[in-house]
Amino acid sequence: MALSGGLGAMALPSELIVHIFSFLSDRDKLRASAVCSRWRECLFYPALWTELKLRIGAGRNDGNPSSDETPKLEFLMRKFGSFVRELQLELAPVDGYIVPLNSDRMDQPHGPDNDPQLSERWRDAMAAYLDQVLCVLAGIRNNRNLQKLSLYGDTCVLQQEGLLDGSNLHQIHQGDKKINEIQQLFMEMLSNSRQLRWLSCSFMLGLVTPCSLACLSNPSAGTLQHLSLLDHQLGPLITPSELDRLSNLHSLALDFSDMTSELCGLLASPCRTPLHRLSLLLNGAALEFKPLEGTATEDDWKALVRVSTNLRVYVMALEVDNSELLRVLKPSLPLERLHLDSYHTLVSDATLELISQQYNKTLTHFLLLRDDPDFPDLTVNRNEDPLVLLAWRCTQLAVLVIHGYTIWSHNLVAISRLRGSSLRVLTVSEESIEFDPDQSVGMEGDPLLNLVKEVSLGLGRVWHPCLDSSLVLSEPTQHFHHELKTFSMGM
């Protein structure tokens, strides 16, 4: 559009061009930077890139790591890494399942003990992952203005090949050297930081070590309000002495096994800022080398709740049997959100009964998911469906998601009527719904359409069952990472 005098948009002052470009998305900013050198200069002004959100992953449908991703990441980090204030990065080195070249069976055990020949895809994905993490940390190592760092590695597929140790790394060019460099750069970044408020590292293979937080600068130790350290493979990633330095934490996310009695006692100190949000991940597959011995007791939780009166807890239990669940679900735990996810393990009706009784005043979100072709019926040998009882007792329940367990249509209608419009989310897969022939006698029309009508009336809004179970069954660790972020920010 021409301006008066015919000078055009190029006559605008740089400050005004920068302000106009501030309304563009990051993707559109990068595209606009290719128009001319003047626009490029304005578009790379630091004020336009205070926040950077990226997902770097397998860019092709065949699941192989994209060779185009790393150069793009290098460009972004070279341009913005030294001054960006908020960096949120998700790395997905590969999609799908990776099988060793020698393997003819999907269930053949993998890992260092079996020393399988790792597939070319695995080596390429692991090499791409290491290069990308190195690129990010090298870009932010000297950033003193960084306030929020959120790193998530969608690396479960890589972990299926075994633990990340020397027996696998030697098959990657300079693998051991790169891991050591990654750990050193991460510690250097922590020591150079001055105003870090949010630090989240979830399932970043090889990044965080038990001594990483010792390098956190004293200024950042005083400003840090959220800390998330999650890793299935390592022991405790935070020591009591390091937690003691972080006296202003408002929210915390850990593996459940790392929530020891000693850590809980430190969080209950009256000299600290009261904790508002606590997210805990309990992975049944990791309990063999991360046992629950020494975790917080009932008395520890009581002491913590006395100091942090507004504390709310989010727990995801992945492939955990009922005995372990009953062991960790203490009565004094201020549980607000509970996600029970499994492939084969069954949640018993007795466990649901305990949950509905103990957390009837605090539970707002309940997800019960199972990825298995069998759909067990929890009402067998019972007069009442335990899910109906949970909806009746938990008066604050706002989100209920069910897949992998049989729920009878009349019980689903009962849940909708009990909670009504206060149940903001009711997601039930169509596969989970069963219709009682006795209930259908005398009813006209399609039973599913009648169910939709009855549940919609109960909720006071239009409702439909979920026809695509893949929308319900998201990757558990990724779901936990995203959910704990929104949960922690909602304090």
450 to 285, 435, 443, 459: CA distances (angstroms): 42, 11, 9, 14
Angstrom distance (rounded) from CA 437 to CA 194: 66
104 pLDDT higher than 70 = no
**Residue indicated by tokens 């030294």:** 82
What confidence tens digit (pLDDT) does each residue in 21-48 have? 888 887 787 788 778 888 877 777 777 7
Across 114-128, b (16+ Cβ under 10 Å) vs e yields eebebbebbbbbbbb
Grade residue 234 by pLDDT with cuts at 50, 70 and 90: low
Number of H helices, E strands in the chain: 19, 14
Q: What is the pLDDT at residue 27?
A: 78
Q: What is the pLDDT at residue 170?
A: 60
What confidence tens digit (pLDDT) does each residue in 385-408 have? 999 999 999 999 999 999 999 999
* Average pLDDT of the residues of the chain: 83
215 pLDDT higher than 90 = yes
Q: What is the pLDDT at residue 126?
A: 79
322 pLDDT higher than 70 = yes
65 pLDDT higher than 50 = no
Q: What is the pLDDT at residue 321?
A: 92
The secondary element (H helix, E strand) that includes residue 204 is none
Q: What is the pLDDT at residue 300?
A: 96
158 pLDDT higher than 70 = no
What confidence tens digit (pLDDT) does each residue in 167-196 have? 566 667 777 788 899 999 999 999 999 999
What is the pLDDT averaged over residues 341-370? 94
- In percent, how much of the chain has pLDDT > 90? 50
308 to 6, 118, 229, 360: CA distances (angstroms): 65, 48, 21, 20
**Is residue 182 within 8 Å of residue 133, measured between CB atoms?**
yes
Q: What is the pLDDT at residue 343?
A: 87
What confidence tens digit (pLDDT) does each residue in 255-273 have? 999 999 999 999 999 999 9
Point out the least confidently predicted range of 75-84, 155-164, 183-192, 323-332.
155-164
Residue predicted with more confidence, 121 or 398: 398
Q: What is the pLDDT at residue 365?
A: 97
What is the pLDDT averaged over residues 207-225? 92
What is the pLDDT averaged over residues 199-221? 90
What is the pLDDT averaged over residues 326-350? 93
Q: What is the pLDDT at residue 169?
A: 60
Tokens describing residue 437 = 């022939």
Grade residue 11 by pLDDT with cuts at 50, 70 and 90: confident
309 pLDDT higher than 70 = yes
Q: What is the pLDDT at residue 61?
A: 39
Q: What is the pLDDT at residue 114?
A: 45
Angstrom distance (rounded) from CA 318 to CA 371: 11
Helices (H), 141-279: 156-159, 166-169, 175-192, 218-223, 240-245, 261-267
Cα end-to-end span (Å), the chain: 46
Tokens describing residue 364 = 């707002």
Q: What is the pLDDT at residue 232?
A: 66
Helix, strand and coil content of the chain, in percent to the nearest 5, comes to 40, 15, 40
440 pLDDT higher than 50 = yes
Q: What is the pLDDT at residue 220?
A: 95
For β-strands 277-283 and 251-255, DSSP reports them as parallel
Residue 380 burial class via C-beta count within 10 angstroms: exposed 0-12, middle 13-18, buried 19 and up: exposed
Angstrom distance (rounded) from CA 143 to CA 147: 10
Q: What is the pLDDT at residue 392?
A: 96
- In percent, how much of the chain has pLDDT > 70? 84
Q: What is the pLDDT at residue 324?
A: 93
- pTM (two decimals): 0.86
Angstrom distance (rounded) from CA 455 to CA 434: 14
415 pLDDT higher than 80 = yes
